[in-house]
Structure 1
Amino acid sequence: MRLALTLLFGLAASAAAAHDMAGMPMPKGPDLGASAALDGKGRLWVVDAADGHVRLRHSDDFGRTLSAPVPVNAQAEPIYAEGENRPKIAFGAKGELYVSWSQPHARPWTGFVRFARSTDNGEHFSAPLTVHHDRAEITHRFDAMAVDSKGRIVMAWIDKRDLEAATAKGKPYQGAAIYTSVSSDGGNSFSAERKLADETCECCRIALASTPQGEIAAFYRSIFGDNIRDHAYAVLHADGRPLEPQRATFDDWHIAGCPHHGPGLAIGADGVRHAVWYEAKDKPAIHYGQLDPGKAPAHLQTIATAGASHADVAASGKQVWVVWNQVNAQGFALMLRESRDGGASFGEAREIANQKGAAAAPQLLLWQHRAFVAWNTAGGFRVVPTEAL
């Protein structure tokens, strides 16, 4: 199993590097990086990428059938659509549809964060705009998007402008920075970006979640000391207050490179910060814990070990769900563990779906206190219920 995991990890990293190195050529057919969301009426919306277009589809039967795709960007452009760096979707207060993605450029590992919106239920989209004001051909990638309780669109992404500046001066700099920007006018424009943190992991996705106060919080892999790749937490204040990241996990995993495994975050109405993350200091593992920034997480427990990857978490009341991909001899199993006591303990792992070919990272969706998993695989997109059939 360790050998299988090593091979899988190497293939995933190689595929990501090959995609980065390819530069401008556009992919043929759909990649597996996709995102899904349920609106207030229970309609499912899905975004992915194919042939140089981010495409939007919807479903009124929880993914059993999908509408014909609508192109978000009328003019084709290169699009990152990997598991860690996939198109995103979010909703405005009046039903607007917001879509973001990262656009690769010619230099390896470079890109711009792009955004478009629809105010007519996805029939038409605005011309895409570049979120950040910095236009240098460097890394602005791995975008994350959320909407706060005041309707402001909060963006965060991985950015290498500070690495470039340090390198030019002959100074050391590990990884990349994370920058943020806010739109207070429904996506017509975005504020000048500001830095959240220096020296963060360069290829792990950023997890965003809403706090009970209506703000957006970020949980991300950072770098501490000499390439200790643990995680940090911060509230992304959209009103200009200082951003104050704090270390939130303490596994002390030393790795001089990015593991391509970003974390998951769900914040309950009671303020409990449920988190999942991957590390492999002693052995590959997915952990669950309740974040207490600056201190070790509460109820820390190992959810899965060798062969497990790309976990997500959701919470509703005392119910907490954790899902992940588990590699096996046939391909992947979609695995679930559930807690009914607010994350203090979890039931046994069980398989809720399987796939013989490739599979993207699963994404948990909540609807009326029930949990579903959006899972895009080589066999197609599907929504998997978490309840036992």
Structure 2
Amino acid sequence: MNTKLNSIFTKFLLLGLGGFFILQSAVAQTDHSSHMMDIAPAKPAACAGSGLECANAATPFFMADSSLLLAWTAGGVVSVAQSGDKGKTFSSPVAIAQHGKSLDSGADARPQIVANSNGQVFLAYAFFKDSNWNAQINTSVSNDGGKIFSTPNSLVNDSSSQRFPSVLVQPDNKIFVAWIDKRLVADAKKAGQQRLGGSIAYAFSEDGGVTFAPERIANESSCECCRIGVSGDPKGGVGIVYRAIFPGGVRDHASQIITSSGSGQIRRVSNDGWKTDACPHHGPTIAISDSGKIHVAWFTQGSARSGVFYASSVNQGEAYTRPQRIGAVDANISRPYLLAVGKSIWLVWKEFDGVRTSIHLKKSFDDGKTWSVPVMVSSTTGYSDHPLLLNQDDEVYLSWLTREDGYQLIPLNSR
């Protein structure tokens, strides 16, 4: 990447990710030296604890009994707590693991938490096991609704690097997890060869995450530093979207439908033409409606288009609509997130005006054919996590963690 482009890209992320960000040269979570430094949120020096008030990332999940589970990372600790009043108050947190500075808490890293209909809770997170940023994904299970968790254990037996888990619980209580896997890169290095990026790996569990079927590789060539978007497919599988590496080192997005019998064809979402060796740390999002229509949104700095975009597919990714820009051309947009409830599609994203970071929302009640006028839902100054969406039946909520205002679970149906 030339110096000018590198400067533009860095400036975009510094603004678009919400301001108050710093380059952490001492703890940058790059995967190899040719990559750009991670851009990590600046945390006030006074906030050094492991409580929610010091968290950098928080992930919610509604249990079958309507209680809210929240997993977060702060001070090198992974914690979980419950709320019976939609996030206004929480139970005393349960510390699942303590990894200190080795905990993976980069821009696209967050703990993953889901629960099945029996109240069995599954948690996944990653930590760095050496100074070369090789990571391990640990998992833990609770059989009493999140009060007591098992000792965390590695998701896989492979000794290379696994990072950025994305987890989903299916209607039949199977747990699906996908992640960025570096075993093929490690094998190439042993053979004296160089291999770009990582791979997309996945596995299923039929016992609530206690054990998993042998992992499989869905795509051998992917970006190694962007989270994977996952969504349930009404036909019984799981849809994933991720930043793939196409011939020539182009890092554009791809989707696949995965079932317990294997992964479907790799489908290119858009020809953005982003050829880079940098680590964007800015993964995509996916939502599949009851009709089977796939909705995706992503960030790119390609030669064909630059910014944050949305597209959809009615044929399981064989063809996608022309990408539509999210937000104004001159706005600093980042972190889109999609949710499908029936045929209603919800989309949120961040905007930064140089002072405040705001969350904007638009929604469609006809499976993405038409959309409402965007509205601002919340805003803050200082550090904030990515906006997330979740639902309890037909009620949709924005989950947003900010340092200034704390954790917020905001109802969106009336917006």
State the TM-score, normalizing by the size of structure 2: 0.84
Q: How far apart are residue 244 of structure 1 and its match? A: 3.4
Q: Give the structure 2 partner of residue 227 of structure 1.
A: 249
1:246 paired with 2:246, answer no
Q: How far apart are residue 127 of structure 1 and its match? A: 1.1
Q: How far apart are residue 113 of structure 1 and its match? A: 0.6
Aligned amino acid, residue 152 of structure 1: K
Matches within 5 A, 1:105-184: 105-136=129-160, 139-184=161-206
Q: Give the structure 2 partner of residue 67 of structure 1.
A: 91
Worse-matched range after superposition: 179-188 or 112-121: 179-188
Q: Give the structure 2 partner of residue 53 of structure 1.
A: 77
Q: Structure 2: how far apart are the matches of 1:184 and 1:211?
A: 18
RMSD of aligned residue pairs (Cα, Å): 2.6
Query: Are the counterparts in 1 of residues 295 and 311 from structure 2 also a CA contact under 8 Å?
Result: yes
Q: Give the structure 2 partner of residue 321 of structure 1.
A: 346
Q: Give the structure 2 partner of residue 208 of structure 1.
A: 230
1:8 paired with 2:15, answer yes
Query: Are the counterparts in 1 of residues 218 and 263 from structure 2 also a CA contact under 8 Å?
Result: no
Worse-matched range after superposition: 326-335 or 184-193: 184-193
Q: Give the structure 2 partner of residue 281 of structure 1.
A: 302
SS in 1 for 2:362: strand
Aligned match for 2:209, one of 187, 190, 195: 187
Query: Are the counterparts in 1 of residues 179 and 200 from structure 2 also a CA contact under 8 Å?
Result: yes
What do the CA deviations read for 1:95-142 (whole angstroms, capped 9, x no partner)? 111111011112232110110011112110111111111024xx2111
Q: Give the structure 1 partner of residue 33 of structure 2.
A: none
Worse-matched range after superposition: 98-107 or 229-238: 229-238
Q: Give the structure 1 partner of residue 292 of structure 2.
A: 271
Q: Give the structure 2 partner of residue 218 of structure 1.
A: 240
Shift in CA distance, 295/185, structure 1 to aligned 2, threshold 3 Å: closer
Shift in CA distance, 348/285, structure 1 to aligned 2, threshold 3 Å: farther
Aligned match for 2:395, one of 364, 370, 378: 370
What do the CA deviations read for 1:255-286 (whole angstroms, capped 9, x no partner)? 22221111111111111111111112256422
Aligned match for 1:92, one of 116, 119, 132: 116
Q: How far apart are residue 150 of structure 1 and its match? A: 2.9
Report the count of equivalent residues: 380
Q: How far apart are residue 229 of structure 1 and its match? A: 1.4
SS in 2 for 1:298: coil
Q: Give the structure 2 partner of residue 381 of structure 1.
A: 407
Q: Structure 2: how far apart are the matches of 1:368 and 1:362?
A: 20
What do the CA deviations read for 1:24-66 (whole angstroms, capped 9, x no partner)? xxx9434412211112232211100233331111222221222
Query: Are the counterparts in 2 of residues 357 and 378 from structure 1 also a CA contact under 8 Å?
Result: yes
Shift in CA distance, 275/105, structure 1 to aligned 2, threshold 3 Å: same
Question: Unpaired runs of 5+ in structure 2?
Answer: 1-7, 31-36, 38-46
Q: How far apart are residue 333 of structure 1 and its match? A: 0.6
SS in 1 for 2:360: strand
Q: How far apart are residue 236 of structure 1 and its match? A: 2.5
Q: How far apart are residue 387 of structure 1 and its match? A: 4.1
Query: Are the counterparts in 2 of residues 31 and 81 from structure 1 also a CA contact under 8 Å?
Result: no
Aligned match for 1:347, one of 368, 372, 375: 372
Q: Give the structure 2 partner of residue 303 of structure 1.
A: 326
Q: Structure 2: how far apart are the matches of 1:343 and 1:168?
A: 47
Q: Structure 2: how far apart are the matches of 1:200 and 1:17?
A: 26
Q: How far apart are residue 7 of structure 1 and its match? A: 3.5
Shift in CA distance, 12/132, structure 1 to aligned 2, threshold 3 Å: farther
Aligned amino acid, residue 186 of structure 1: G
Aligned amino acid, residue 260 of structure 1: H
Q: Structure 1: how far apart are the matches of 2:275 and 2:269?
A: 16
Matches within 5 A, 1:254-269: 254-269=275-290
Aligned amino acid, residue 252 of structure 1: G
SS in 1 for 2:214: coil
What do the CA deviations read for 1:68-91 (whole angstroms, capped 9, x no partner)? 211223x65642233411001111
Query: Are the counterparts in 2 of residues 20 and 104 from structure 1 also a CA contact under 8 Å?
Result: no
What do the CA deviations read for 1:188-240 (whole angstroms, capped 9, x no partner)? 222332211112011110011111123222111101111221111122222x3
Q: How far apart are residue 155 of structure 1 and its match? A: 1.5
Shift in CA distance, 284/298, structure 1 to aligned 2, threshold 3 Å: closer
State the TM-score, normalizing by the size of structure 1: 0.89
Higher relative contact order (CA 8 A, sep 6+): 2
SS in 2 for 1:236: strand
Query: Are the counterparts in 1 of residues 286 and 294 from structure 2 also a CA contact under 8 Å?
Result: yes
